[in-house]
Amino acid sequence: MSKNAKLSLRKRASKKWESIREHHLTIMTTVFVISLGMMLFTLVFIISGTYSEWGPEQNALAWITGIVGVIVAVFLWPEFFYLRGRYNFLREYMKISSPSELRKEMAEAQEAGKILGDRYLDKLREFLLEKGIKMKRR
C-alpha cells in the first residue's frame, strides 16, 4: 500500500470518527466494557483450570481473547477515563443550584460539552437557560 493510500485511509477514518463525536463516550464505554469482559473470561478460564478439558482450538481462542482484551483496554484506558471524567463533571455541574457557582464553573462545563459533543452542549444550554444564565459563545 502506498503512503498516499495509507494517509487517505487514515484521513477518512479520522473524519468518520469526528463526525460521530457525540457518540464517542458511548462507543468507548461499550468497547472498554467488552475488553474487560474478554479479560475476565480469560482470567476465569485460567483460574478454573478448564483448559485441560478443552481442545487446543478453544484454548487458543481463550488466550487470544484475553490478549486482545488487554491490548484494547490498555489503548482505550486513558481516553475512556478522560471522557468519563468530563461526563461526570457535566453531570455534577447540572446538579448545582447556585447561579454564582454555575457562572464560576461555566467555562469548564462548556469545554466538557464541546469535548463530549453537540448533544451534551445542547443539554448544558437548556440547563443554563432554565437557571436564567446565558451561555457565553466561544
In angstroms, the CA 25 to CA 81 distance is: 10
Nearest one of 87, 70, 107, 72 to 24, comparing CA atoms: 87
What's the chain's average pLDDT? Answer: 87
d(CA 127, CA 138): 18
pLDDT of residue 30: 95
The average pLDDT across 100-108 equals: 91
Can you read off the three cell numbers belonging to residue 9? 485511509
| C-alpha dihedral sign at 108, 112, 118, 121 | negative
Mean pLDDT of 65-70: 94
Rg (CA), the chain: 21
Q: What backbone torsions phi and psi does residue 83 show, to the nearest 5 degrees? A: -65, -40
What percent of the chain is modeled with pLDDT above 70? 93
Q: How many CB atoms lie within 10 A of CB 59?
A: 15
Q: What is the pLDDT of residue 33?
A: 95
Q: What is the pLDDT of residue 2?
A: 57
Q: Note the pLDDT tens digit of each residue in 75-93.
A: 999 999 999 999 999 999 9
Read off the pLDDT of residues 1-48 as tens digits, 9 standing for 90 and up. 556 666 688 888 888 888 887 888 999 999 999 999 999 999 988 888
